[in-house]
């Protein structure tokens, strides 16, 4: 996640305490939902707030940077757009026995799975679902400190853990923080009884203190490349999602983890290999892609093919992130995109930095005016072109029409955000180290 979209970890503090607190691989189907923004909130404010979170997330990444088999069944979760001002997509899942359902941000840019837990002594944010209480679940257990999934295992340095050891964490993201104890629980995926899967022994964060930057959710589900992510713990091998349109108030989609995650029968499928991630955290959790160029319509922009290269020291590169809203490009590339868009639009150009956080906007004749036609934008990846219609790189609202991209300092990491992923069916094949995608009407999948 990037900014409030959210979330590359800035830092993780862990410590051992002595405390007493009252698995097989599976494939999972999870629904993704994007809760539409409150109709009373201008689109410009929605974008500004999402961009603010993206920039915090990006800054967090910069500071933090100082034989996988397929599961036997498929796990699914409904997904939706979050509310009221956010730019994230939420997946719904349930935790414990009996299961308690909660919405969580689906984030390919981080690993930890966590939710708020009762009791929460005044340091919890308001959430739309009841707090999960480990004391009320018959399947909760404290994760052993010497577990391979414990965030404290490194602190033990091979020594035996003290009796009653619990691993306490304080994880800081680009847009917030959360703290608690690591536990182990049974998670339930799928809404309909016929399609449900219960998976025991999932390591997660049981947070009893958090910042208030997680509006619309009750936690986060990391889908990154690390051992703690849901993808890794399920041994899923691959996962897919299709993000419904950003301004669609009602539609939902589905996140699939496991064998059923596929693009079979889909037309226009393209595939590109992942670039090997650096070994150092947090970069090790990201899904890097090799972006070699950008075209607007039939015009190839004058961007160096090395503009998005991942450097030996871990700097640079471009990642795909479901938790970041607005795509960021290194400045040399962004300026080319900006100039090309501006050259095609005859509307008055305005600086939308104050109203939207986006620096290239155009004034529409009236708040209800439809934007003019624009050609598609093509992102040229290694072996695959991703074609973005105008509505996936321009955003309108409150009488302005803006380029939904931003500049990133040259040499910094670029991010393909979820706004540019809308109405795209995307498959992450972790075993084959490839990303596949095809245009789709996600609300119908």
Residues with catalytic roles? 107, 321
Answer whether 189's CB lies under 8 Å from 234's CB.
Answer: no
- Residue 62: both structure tokens together: 């910069």
Would you give the distance in Å from CA 91 to the centre of its chain? Answer: 11
What is the phi/psi pair of residue 60, to 5°?
-60, -40
Answer whether 258's CB lies under 8 Å from 235's CB.
Answer: no
**Which candidate, 69, 74, 78, 96, places its Cα nearest to that of 30?**
78
**Which candidate, 411, 394, 428, places its Cα nearest to that of 318?**
411
In angstroms and rounded to an integer, the radius of gyration of the C-alpha atoms of the chain is 21
Report the C-alpha gap between 286 and 8 in whole angstroms. 9
Would you give the distance in Å from CA 65 to the centre of its chain? Answer: 18
Answer whether 419's CB lies under 8 Å from 327's CB.
Answer: yes
Please list, in sequence order, all residues whose beta carbon lies within 8 angstroms of the beta carbon of residue 37, skipping any fewer than 6 positions away.
Answer: 43, 46, 83, 84, 85, 247
Answer whether 78's CB lies under 8 Å from 246's CB.
Answer: no
In order of 48, 52, 107, 222, the CA distances from 229 in angstroms are: 29, 26, 10, 5
- Tokens 């150092």, located at residue: 280
């Amino acid at each position: 996640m990037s900014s409030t979209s959210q979330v590359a970890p800035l830092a993780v503090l862990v410590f051992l305490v002595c405390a007493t607190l009252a698995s097989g691989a599976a494939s999972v189907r999870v629904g993704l939902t994007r809760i539409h923004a409150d109709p009373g909130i201008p689109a410009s404010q929605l974008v500004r707030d999402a961009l603010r979170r993206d920039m915090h997330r990006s800054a967090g990444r910069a500071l933090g940077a100082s034989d996988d088999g397929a599961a036997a069944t498929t796990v699914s979760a409904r997904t939706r757009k979050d509310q009221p001002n956010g730019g994230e997509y939420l997946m719904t899942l349930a935790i414990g026995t009996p299961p308690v359902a909660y919405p969580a941000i689906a984030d390919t840019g981080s690993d930890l799975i966590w939710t708020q837990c009762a009791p929460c002594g005044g340091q919890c944010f308001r959430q739309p679902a009841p707090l999960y209480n480990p004391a009320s679940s018959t399947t909760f257990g404290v994760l052993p400190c010497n577990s391979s999934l414990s965030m404290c295992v490194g602190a033990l340095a091979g020594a035996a853990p003290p009796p009653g050891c619990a691993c306490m964490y304080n994880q800081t993201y680009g847009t917030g923080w959360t703290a608690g104890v690591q536990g182990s629980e049974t998670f339930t995926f799928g809404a309909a009884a016929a399609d449900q899967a219960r998976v025991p022994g999932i390591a997660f964060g049981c947070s009893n203190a958090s910042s208030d930057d997680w509006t619309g959710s009750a936690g986060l589900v990391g889908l990154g490349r690390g051992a703690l992510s849901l993808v890794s713990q399920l041994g899923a091998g691959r996962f897919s999602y299709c993000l419904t349109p950003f301004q669609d108030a009602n539609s939902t989609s589905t996140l699939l983890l496991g064998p059923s995650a596929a693009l079979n029968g889909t037309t226009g499928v393209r595939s590109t290999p992942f670039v090997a991630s650096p070994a150092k955290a947090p970069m090790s959790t990201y899904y890097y892609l090799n972006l070699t160029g950008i075209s607007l319509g039939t015009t190839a922009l004058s961007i160096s093919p090395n503009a998005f290269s991942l450097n030996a020291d871990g700097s640079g590169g471009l990642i795909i992130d479901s938790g970041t809203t607005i795509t960021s490009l290194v400045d040399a590339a962004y300026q080319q995109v900006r100039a090309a868009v501006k050259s095609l639009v005859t509307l008055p150009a305005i600086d939308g930095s104050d109203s939207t956080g986006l620096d290239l906007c155009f004034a529409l004749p009236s708040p209800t005016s439809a934007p003019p036609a624009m050609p598609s934008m093509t992102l040229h990846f290694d072996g695959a072109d991703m074609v973005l219609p105008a509505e996936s790189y321009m955003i309108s609202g409150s009488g302005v029409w803006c380029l939904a991209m931003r500049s990133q300092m040259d040499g910094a990491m670029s991010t393909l955000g979820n706004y540019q992923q809308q109405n795209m069916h995307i498959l992450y094949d972790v075993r084959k180290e490839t990303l596949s995608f095809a245009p789709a009407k996600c609300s119908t999948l």
